């Protein structure tokens, strides 16, 4: 509902009705609309991270690992447009939940950075790069496609384009 209407337009009465619980039950569980919002954002992000970690156990090459990350992240948000919108309004999170959200997000950045660092130490990618910055760049590429091109490109094409551009650049033969 938050993704469909935006935080301000969602009434807790509507949430309770859709969830099939009383408004009091909702407040006993979450305390406030902000805490409910935060729980949805954090739980979704945790689920995504768990899916990525499971997929990485099966991947062996750098390209397989990065493709697994991009595939799971893009697929997760592609099918959950509302959740994608929630992530981009984390200003609505109460302070304690914002800290938890940032922790979850940093964990994802660390996963990507660790893959790149390993590839750098073994000479498969340039060693002179800031791997945390590169991880943010990869996340930014996914975010940009989700936000601006989602309806104009097929999911598999988006995944392939992001991984290819990230690993190989866009320069052609001169």
d(CA 102, CA 106): 6
Question: End-to-end distance of the chain based on CA atoms, in angstroms?
Answer: 50
pLDDT at residue 23, as a whole number? 87
* Whole-prediction pTM: 0.80
The neighbour count for residue 137, using CB atoms within 10 Å, is 14
Tokens representing 74?
């893009």
CATH topology of domain 32-168: Tetracycline Repressor; domain 2 (1.10.357)
The domain segmentation of the chain, as residue ranges, is 32-168
Closest listed residue to residue 30, CA positions, set 8, 15, 50: 15
pLDDT at residue 15, as a whole number? 87
Render each residue's pLDDT in the chain as its tens digit; 174 residues: 776 776 778 888 888 898 898 888 888 888 888 788 778 778 878 888 899 999 999 999 999 999 999 999 999 888 776 666 666 666 666 777 778 878 888 999 999 999 999 999 999 999 999 999 999 999 999 989 988 877 789 999 999 999 999 999 887 655
């Amino acid at each position: 509902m938050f993704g469909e209407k935006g935080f301000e337009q969602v009434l807790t009465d509507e949430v309770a009705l859709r969830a099939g619980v009383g408004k009091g039950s909702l407040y006993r569980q979450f305390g406030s609309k902000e805490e409910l919002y935060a729980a949805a954002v954090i739980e979704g992000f945790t689920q995504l991270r768990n899916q990525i970690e499971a997929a990485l156990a099966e991947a062996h090459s750098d390209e397989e690992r990065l493709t697994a990350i991009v595939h799971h992240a893009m697929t997760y948000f592609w099918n959950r447009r509302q959740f994608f919108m929630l992530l981009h309004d984390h200003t609505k999170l109460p302070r304690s939940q914002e800290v938890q959200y940032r922790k979850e997000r940093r964990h994802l950045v660390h996963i990507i950075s660790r893959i790149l660092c390993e590839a750098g130490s073994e000479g498969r990618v340039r060693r002179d790069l800031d791997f945390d910055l590169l991880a943010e760049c990869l996340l930014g590429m996914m975010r940009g496609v989700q936000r601006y091109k989602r309806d104009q490109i097929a999911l598999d094409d988006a995944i392939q384009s992001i991984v290819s551009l990230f690993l190989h650049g866009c320069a052609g033969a001169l």
